[in-house]
Amino acid sequence: MRPLYRRTAMLSIQLIVVLVIVSQLSVQGLAQADPMRVGQGTASSPQAVEKVEKTSLIVTAEYFIGPEDVLDITVWRNADLSKQVTVRPDGRISLPLIGDITAVGRTPAQLSEDISAKLKEYKENPQVSIVVKEVNSYAIYVLGEVVKPGKYPLKSKTTLLQAITIASGFTPTAARNKIVVFRFAKDGGGQIKTKASYDDIVLRDGSNQNMELKPGDQIVVPSETMVLVP
């Protein structure tokens, strides 16, 4: 009986070892197949990382409001004047009592001051707070003679040359030394027009023309046929 007992014990130990190995292999395979399932508390999906990166760019005191942004405007102790609004394409918003007011090119703090100043005609010492609920304007527009014109989201600091690269470069008919950048003025008073030359940036001392782009910037690359020769 003793040899049989020893054999049974050895088989049991071997079976336990096999089960442990299979269990470890299963956990490793699960981690490789779906890293979010193992160590879920520390892993982050690409979408989550992108959201954090974008948030780190936009949640600052210097963020400038742009078209299509959604604003949550609260007037303290006045629910009738508090409202959630979307910035119109013309850069303005509409509020009770004060009507239209320019929002594009203003920071939330600046817009709060503007609204407070207008509300003083109707309310003593109004306190206005603004929260940017949705950021839909954090993008640039590359137009004209580029391979892929369109609207491109800004996920990090981007220069003019990088924007041309994102749009897959110039077309053969592009007037690359006649680039024009349109930008909303900070005071909301229209747009600022800035010219740039690709050759000056790359071949000459024109690195200052390789500007850092801001949300809402419009980069236009005209065709050579559109450029008037003096």
What's the pLDDT at 15? 54
Q: pLDDT tens digits, residue range 114-166?
A: 999 999 998 889 999 999 998 888 899 999 999 999 999 887 889 999 999 99
Percent of the chain residues past pLDDT 70, beyond the cut: 71
Number of helical (H) and strand (E) elements in the chain, helices listed first: 5, 10
83 neighbors 73 (Cβ within 8 angstroms)? yes
What letter does residue 97 receive in the DSSP assignment?
T
What's the pLDDT at 3? 53
Which is more confidently placed, 89 or 42?
A: 89
Phi then psi dihedrals of residue 156, to 5 deg: -160, 180
What's the pLDDT at 153? 87
Place of tokens 């050759």: 199
Label residue 46 by pLDDT band (50, 70, 90).
Answer: very low
Above 90 in pLDDT, residue 24? no
User: Encoding tokens for residue 12?
Assistant: 């049991």
Per the CATH hierarchy, to which homologous superfamily does domain 139-226 belong? Outer membrane lipoprotein wza domain like (3.10.560.10)
Q: Mean of the pLDDT values across residues 95-123?
A: 93
Above 70 in pLDDT, residue 43? no
Residues in the chain: 230
CATH code that applies to domain 59-134: 3.30.1950.10
Domain ranges of the chain: 59-134, 139-226
What mean pLDDT is reported for the chain? 79
What's the pLDDT at 44? 37
Above 80 in pLDDT, residue 91? yes
User: Encoding tokens for residue 144?
Assistant: 């004209």
Q: Mean of the pLDDT values across residues 189-204?
A: 91
What's the pLDDT at 52? 39
| Interatomic CA distance for residues 182 and 190, integer angstroms | 10
What's the pLDDT at 201? 95
Q: pLDDT tens digits, residue range 67-87?
A: 889 999 999 989 999 999 999
CB atoms inside a 10 Å sphere around CB 50: 13
Above 70 in pLDDT, residue 18? no
Q: Mean of the pLDDT values across residues 96-111?
A: 93
